[in-house]
Structure formats: C-alpha cells, structure tokens
Amino acid sequence: MFFDRTEFTKTVKDEEHAAYLMKNGVKFDYGSLVDERDGEIYSTVKIGNQIWMAENLRYVSKGGAADDDVGSYAYGEVEKNVGKFGRLYTWAAAMNLSPRYNEDELGAEGESLITSGRFRGIAPEGWHIPSEEEWHELCEFCRSLQDGLPGTMLKSSEYWEECYGSVVGKDSVGFASIPSGGRYSMGYFYDLNKSAYYWTSTSMGNEYARYRSISFRGGKIGADYTYKTDAFAIRCVKDC
C-alpha cells in the first residue's frame, strides 16, 4: 500500500451543486459521510442493498497516492472544478498503490486484494472502491425498477450538455451522476459536461482496468477497460 502523509486540502464546495444535493437529500433521504482524514462531508444514498456516495470523491493528499502532482487531478487543472465534479484519479492512485502499479505486475497478493471486491483504496474508512460486480448489481437494481435505462436513472437532472441526441437524466434513485469528464495519460482533459467515467477496482493485467461510463447522448451505462494511467472519477460504496 502507498500510505499518505497528513497534508490535506479542504475543498470549497460548489454552491449550485450543494443546492442540488440538498433538494435530492429530501427526496431520497440522503445520509452523510464525514471523511475523518480531511473533514470532507459527502451525501450518501441507499440503492437496493448497497449504500453509495452521491458525490464524486474529492480526497487529495501531498506525498501519497492521491497527490495532486502524481495521481489525482482537478479537471483542466482548475481547482474550482473539484467542488462540483470531484477529482480525477489514475487507477493506482484510486487503489492507494504506488504509481508504478499503473503499469507493473501487482503480484499474487495484490491481485487477490484487488479481486476480493473489498479493496479500500483511497476510500474513507468503512468504504471501498467498487468492483465491476458491484457496479453490475447497481445496474441490475435500476433495471428492476423499470423506469428507463440505468444510465438515465443514475444521471443528475442538471449539468449535462443539451443538444441533438442528448438524453435528460431522471436521477431516479438519487445517485446524482454528474458529467465530470476524464483525463488521458498525456495530460489532455476531455468530456466535461458530456460524460462521466468511474473506475472500478477490477484490474485486467498490468496496464488495464475496468471502468463504467455514462454519456449525455444516451441512457446506457458503458462497461469497458482502458489504461490505468488515464484518470477518472471515483464513487465509493459502503462496506457491508
């Protein structure tokens, strides 16, 4: 594990998004989570048998896996964006591992931890980075409600780009997915207000890991894999 020092940055939350979450909180009976490491407060929501964060993770620390010079980024390198969209993390940073594990072999012990479905990574205590299987469970629960496609049900009703072919989010279960975009390993940021990309804890060999995506253009939830050196958002799920 790549343990962090105790130098943290407290985020200034976006007032517009805070108001949106407050409105949602009444409708979906949000809980709250205080990250004891940095004092950040997150809304949480029960969806089926799971409890998810209803906001993207904002955790950052100097000298650790989530260092903002190494493995975590504000979109466009504009810190103001973190208050609404959270941070973007490389896969190794999300898993609280040394940056070399974006490309190097994890080894038997590391692979065992990653595939257990309970890998904490940089999640707050009592929470973990969701596996591909846990994302699948979330999608299946949404389908069981028969209120449209899962992506439409998880999208927030605001912030997404509106144009020909776009699909308005219903936010049917309080997940409040927002289009936080992504970052390629060469440093190019893309798709803010267009797509949300979320890492899973599921590794695929040395260089690749699974992720989930939601686009403004449709209602499906994408499931694919990409380079671990790319940077995506994180939604944590509670241990149970």
Q: Is the pLDDT of residue 138 over 90?
A: yes
pTM for this prediction: 0.90
Dist. CA 151–CA 142, nearest whole Å = 9
Please tell me the predicted confidence (pLDDT) of residue 98. Answer: 81
- Is 10 exposed, middle or buried (CB count within 10 Å of its CB: 0-12, 13-18, 19+)? exposed
Please tell me the predicted confidence (pLDDT) of residue 34. Answer: 96
- Is 162 exposed, middle or buried (CB count within 10 Å of its CB: 0-12, 13-18, 19+)? exposed
* Average pLDDT of every residue of the chain: 88
Please tell me the predicted confidence (pLDDT) of residue 63. Answer: 67
The string over 12-35, giving b where at least 16 C-beta atoms fall within 10 Å of a residue's C-beta and e elsewhere, is ebbeebeebbeebbeebebeebeb
What SS3 state is found at 158? coil
Cross-strand pairs, 203: 209
Dist. CA 7–CA 88, nearest whole Å = 19
Please tell me the predicted confidence (pLDDT) of residue 84. Answer: 95
Please tell me the predicted confidence (pLDDT) of residue 162. Answer: 82
List CB contacts of 143: < 8 A, sequence separation 6 or more.
Answer: 150
Q: Are 200 and 212 in contact (CB under 8 A)?
A: yes
Dist. CA 98–CA 2, nearest whole Å = 5
Confidence band of 1 (pLDDT split at 50, 70, 90): very low
Structure tokens at 89: 């993390």
The single-letter code of the amino acid at 87 is R
Structure tokens at 217: 């253009």
Structure tokens at 88: 């973007």
Please tell me the predicted confidence (pLDDT) of residue 163. Answer: 76
pLDDT digits over 78-131, tens only? 999 999 999 999 999 999 888 887 877 776 556 655 555 568 999 999 999 999
pLDDT digits over 38-61, tens only? 999 999 999 999 999 999 999 987
What percentage of the chain exceeds 70 in pLDDT? 86
Please tell me the predicted confidence (pLDDT) of residue 3. Answer: 38
